[in-house]
Amino acid sequence: MPQTQLPAHLRKFVVDQSTTRYTSVEQATWRYILRQLKSYFSEHAHPCYLRGLKAAGITEDSIPQVSHISECLSKFGWQAIPVSGFIPPAAFMEMQALGFLPIAKDMRSLEHLSYTPAPDIVHEAAGHAPILIDPEFSEYLRRYAQVAKKAILNSEDLEIYDAIRELSDIKESPRATKGQIQRAEERLENANKISGPPSEGALLARMNWWTAEYGLIGSIENPKVFGAGLLSSVAEGKACLSPKVQKIPFSLDCIHYSYDITEPQPQLFVTPHFEALTLVVEEMAKQMAYSLGGPTSLDKAIVSKCANTVEFENGLQIGGVLERYELYQGRLSFLKWIGPTQLCIKDIEIAGQGITRHKDGFSCPAGAIEGFEKYPATMTKEELDAKNFKAGSIAKLKYVSGVRLNGKIKHVEYRNGLPLYATLLDCTIEQGSQKLFDPSWGEFDLVFVNEAKSVYAGVPDRLAYGETQGFSVRKVEPPPQSEESQALDQIYGELRKAREGASLGPAFLHQIEGIHERLSRQFPKEWLARLEIIEISHRNPGLSQLESTVRDEIKKIQSQNLDLQVPIAEGLAIVGSQ
């Protein structure tokens, strides 16, 4: 199974997908949507779209199994895994960076036919998967995810994400009240108000929105659609190509355009080709904290108030919430983390240096030490022993920044002949009159660091660290079916079997007429089931009278409901073209 190849901390987002969980109404909704998408986007999407649907094993006949999509996508270097609704951006990006396409197994309701605020299998499978067969786009998406997973997020970003997730889940729920929707909308509105300057994560989210979600490709005058947000909705696909929507040549400037998920987009970006996407994301990567390091990058981590990683020139990684740092003549002299903190090498936690030991934080002096001709992290055990820096000795270190450290060395841990850390007893660290560490605080683990070479989102060893803010699991539960919804689902199930069956005799005609009689009695406003009856009748001359009757009924429904006028007209057009 593909999920067994995922890192352990990502497996918790993978869910079971069962063919039996989809109702007959959902299957009919999928079929209607896919037929509309294929009809419209055969002309208006990137040329690989229809080929991509076929190559990914996606048909209009039934909601696909993610395992089957994964098998098909493996030929193009990708695998697919089923998830539930929204998953945290950091988890989503890490999966994509590893070549896994997360596909929300949930299916939108008939009430949200053209658009659903929550991720669903139409958006992921029929929107994202087909374009992955293009090697240039595939390379962009993977590279984008590799960059985006390093992007530092602010705590405000996580609040906005959680507010969006709550609003989406509530809007998709048939049990949601107007009051619940209003409160969720107010929460999102308030979260957007308090957010400050956009973080790296927010800027990368904008790039994703204007490319993988709402991207256009080709010429400004005649662009084609490739963004999954557009490819999963004919209504949005048509609206985006309208002259009312401004078309802007794609560049890094797109990160300065915010977006509102609840409103139509006033502008969209057009890339001339997929290779341009990768060039722009590389341009962005060069400006990020993980590439630049240094004090400016540490500032981003402090503003973030989230767990991030600071990686030093000797390969040591410290993961946690950075509270502050000090400089001396422009170089690091001291750093302090608060809350659970871990020390790692190559993304693996150093034994005994995790959040159990450093549950309340971690601090360390930095820079050169007087009397040491070499940087201590580059000195061998013999060289440090010669400086009397060994177990049982008293360490009296004076850093060139003025930081003073005094304590008894309990142990020095080496790896590959070089020091990882030293544990000190009765340790005092001071800088002038400022006390940086007191013996009453316990043992002190001293690391030798000099420069912050890279700063990036998340902790190095997520499995060892445990749950972090913005990395939690919340699964969408299907709503319970009422007796009425079960009765309606039975009608759709019978229509599906009738449509797929080979029998056209008197019993078949009687069956369809019986279904229509129940539909008229129990569900006079149900339009999609009537569309299916029209399709079945259109193929069978013995049901011509029934077809005429049901056409009159569906036109009446259409005239009485403004929101259904376009979906019904488009459905009738598909039936009439057969």
Alpha-carbon separation of residue 354 from 31, 89, 387 (angstroms): 51, 25, 29
Q: Coil, strand, or helix at residue 509?
A: helix
State the helix-helix crossing angle for 24-44 and 48-55, rounded to 10 degrees: 150
Which pLDDT does position 578 carry in this prediction?
Answer: 53
Mean pLDDT value of segment 320-345:
97
Which pLDDT does position 28 carry in this prediction?
Answer: 96
In a domain, 166, yes or no: no
Task: Tell me, yes or no, whether 456 and 554 share the same domain.
Answer: no
In a domain, 350, yes or no: yes
Which pLDDT does position 542 carry in this prediction?
Answer: 87
Single residue among 409, 438, 465 that ends a domain in this structure: 465
In a domain, 250, yes or no: no
Task: Tell me, yes or no, whether 442 and 519 share the same domain.
Answer: no
| Range of lowest pLDDT (42-51, 147-156, 261-270, 289-298) | 261-270
In a domain, 162, yes or no: no
Angle at 386 between CA 381 and CA 388, to 5 degrees: 95
Residue 8, domain CATH: 1.10.800.10
Which pLDDT does position 86 carry in this prediction?
Answer: 82
Single residue among 144, 168, 200 that ends a domain in this structure: 200
pLDDT in tens, 355-397: 999 999 999 999 999 999 999 999 999 999 999 999 999 999 9
Task: Tell me, yes or no, whether 544 and 511 share the same domain.
Answer: yes
What is the DSSP code (8-state) at residue 306?
Answer: S
Single residue among 439, 465, 491 that ends a domain in this structure: 465
Question: If you average pLDDT over each of 188-197, 219-228, 255-264, 507-516, which comes out highest?
Answer: 219-228
Task: Tell me, yes or no, whether 306 and 403 share the same domain.
Answer: yes
pLDDT in tens, 420-438: 999 999 999 999 999 999 9
More confident residue, 388 or 85: 388
Task: Tell me, yes or no, whether 522 and 392 share the same domain.
Answer: no
Residue 519: HSE in the Cβ half-sphere, 13 Å Cα cutoff: 27
Residue 99 near residue 78, CB atoms below 8 Å = yes
Residue 422 near residue 389, CB atoms below 8 Å = yes
pLDDT in tens, 498-521: 988 766 678 888 999 999 999 999
Task: Tell me, yes or no, whether 336 and 449 share the same domain.
Answer: yes
Tokens (6 digits) for 501? 């069956």
In a domain, 497, yes or no: yes
Task: Tell me, yes or no, whether 495 and 438 share the same domain.
Answer: no
Task: Tell me, yes or no, whether 401 and 502 share the same domain.
Answer: no
3-state secondary structure 155-197: HHHHHHHHHHHHHHHHHHCCCCCHHHHHHHHHHHHHHHHHCCC
Q: How far apart are CA 373 and CA 517, in angstroms?
A: 94
Please state the φ and ψ torsions of residue 335, each to the nearest 5 degrees.
-135, 150
What domain count does the chain have?
3
Q: Tell me the sheet residues that pair with 504.
A: none
Residue 444 near residue 407, CB atoms below 8 Å = yes
Task: Tell me, yes or no, whether 359 and 445 share the same domain.
Answer: yes
Give me the domain span that covers residue 322. 292-465
Task: Tell me, yes or no, whether 415 and 487 share the same domain.
Answer: no
pLDDT in tens, 249-267: 999 999 999 887 777 889 9
Task: Tell me, yes or no, whether 325 and 441 share the same domain.
Answer: yes
Q: How far apart are CA 146 and CA 152, in angstroms?
A: 13
Task: Tell me, yes or no, whether 420 and 508 share the same domain.
Answer: no
Strands 316-328 and 308-312: antiparallel
Which pLDDT does position 423 carry in this prediction?
Answer: 98
